[in-house]
């Protein structure tokens, strides 16, 4: 029997944690030849190369090197360059993960060439069409042949949108596969020692969504909240260069300390972006996490760390209903109020969501092997 060629696509930082266990599981299978495509949507060392090294992801067979650009230009580059790869390789299946431009761009290109597409992390909905990720989610699901979901409500969303039941498979969360596999390795990271901080002495911040960092009033509101909280707990903020540019543009530098050699109380302490293991270590030992990231809502739920999500909606409602996540919006007083509750001793009691057990990639590959052999 000839080998079945399965092409996996990764492009941006959140994709790497999702593609790692899938590639590992595919490589275990006889009769499967996995091919990895990196679109290059994230391409610097901290965002890409370091993640590949830490997660044991094999070197990509193809790197499209699309780089940064507007949504339209970036997606067009992805499609143009990915089409050349598909024509050359002619895979039996393309697997896309998450909700970035690479996800939709590669899915659409494959479908146009009559190549089957599997979407991992299908059906998640914020119901906010102003989010570029929401557009990518809806459109990718609409054209995919196989849809793998992480939580029960995702299936409800897909059925409501007219996706046939027999295309949907509830398998769990591949992000959790990666977290559980690498947690012990992250536990020995010396990032806390390097920063001079103690366990449960700090709040960890991430902030990257355009609706938060590219709107002056919103970013100011969040920063004023973080500055007020910094009088109660150390604030550690691994900050992307693009966000730092906005801090300068909006004249918020007086609120931050950018000297990583000396973390200060009463400041928003900016540090450079971190690799997966260092960040996981900081997240595991944080007193509270304040974020606008979808993936971090999931990871804190598994770790049992209180999470304050600075958004008006979430596409991962299970983290609120069953996990340790609290949705607070972006208004200063609300952020301070809810974070202060945690700092004063209120720890939300969550539970591990169904099938978030570290075996989602096994289930996905088992289903795909059955489907591809028909």
Nearest to 148 by CA among 103, 112, 185, 182: 103
Dist. CA 219–CA 286, nearest whole Å: 22
Buried b (16+ CB within 10 A) or exposed e, 130-152: ebbbbebbbebbeebbbbbbbbe
Record the tokens describing residue 275, joined without a space.
């690799």
Dist. CA 168–CA 161, nearest whole Å: 12
| Distances, alpha carbon 121 to alpha carbons 131, 176, 330, in Å | 17, 12, 26
| 182 among known catalytic residues | no
DSSP 330: S
Dist. CA 131–CA 284, nearest whole Å: 29
For helices 174-187 and 276-284, give the axis angle rounded to 10 degrees: 80
Unique residue bearing structure tokens 């449960």:
200
C-alpha 289: how far from chain center:
15
Residue among 71, 119, 182, 208 flagged as catalytic: 208
Record the tokens describing residue 11, joined without a space.
């492009």
> Mind telling me the catalytic residues?
208
């Amino acid at each position: 029997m000839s080998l079945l060629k399965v092409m996996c696509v990764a492009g941006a930082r959140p994709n790497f944690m999702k593609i790692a266990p899938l590639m590992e599981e595919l490589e275990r299978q006889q009769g499967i030849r996995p091919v990895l495509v990196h679109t290059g949507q994230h391409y610097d060392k901290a965002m890409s190369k370091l993640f590949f090294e830490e997660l044991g992801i094999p070197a990509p067979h193809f790197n499209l090197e699309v780089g940064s650009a507007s949504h339209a230009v970036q997606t067009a580059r992805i499609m143009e360059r990915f089409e050349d790869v598909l024509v050359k390789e002619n895979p039996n299946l393309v697997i896309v993960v998450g909700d970035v431009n690479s996800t939709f761009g590669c899915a659409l290109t494959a479908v146009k060439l009559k190549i089957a597409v599997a979407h991992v992390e299908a059906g998640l909905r914020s119901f906010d069409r102003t989010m570029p990720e929401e557009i990518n989610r809806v459109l990718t699901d609409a054209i995919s042949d196989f849809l793998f979901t992480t939580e029960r409500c995702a299936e409800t969303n897909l059925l409501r949108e007219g996706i046939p039941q027999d295309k949907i498979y509830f398998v769990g969360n591949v992000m959790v596969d990666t977290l559980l596999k690498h947690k012990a390795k992250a536990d020995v990271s010396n990032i806390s020692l390097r920063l001079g901080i103690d366990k449960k002495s700090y709040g960890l911040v991430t902030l990257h969504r355009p609706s938060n960092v590219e709107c002056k009033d919103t970013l100011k509101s969040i920063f004023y909240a973080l500055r007020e909280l910094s009088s109660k707990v150390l604030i550690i903020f691994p900050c992307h260069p693009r966000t730092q540019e906005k801090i300068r543009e909006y004249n918020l530098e007086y609120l931050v300390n950018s000297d990583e050699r000396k973390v200060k109380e009463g400041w928003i302490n900016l540090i450079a972006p971190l690799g997966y293991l260092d960040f996981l270590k900081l997240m595991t030992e944080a007193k509270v996490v304040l974020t606008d990231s979808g993936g971090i809502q999931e990871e804190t739920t598994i770790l049992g760390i209180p999470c304050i999500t600075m958004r008006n909606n979430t596409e991962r409602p299970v983290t609120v209903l069953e996990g340790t996540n609290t949705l607070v919006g972006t208004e200063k007083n609300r952020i301070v109020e809810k974070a202060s509750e945690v700092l004063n001793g209120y720890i939300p009691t969550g539970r591990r969501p169904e099938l978030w057990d570290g075996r989602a990639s096994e289930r996905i590959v088992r289903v795909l092997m059955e489907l591809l052999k028909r």
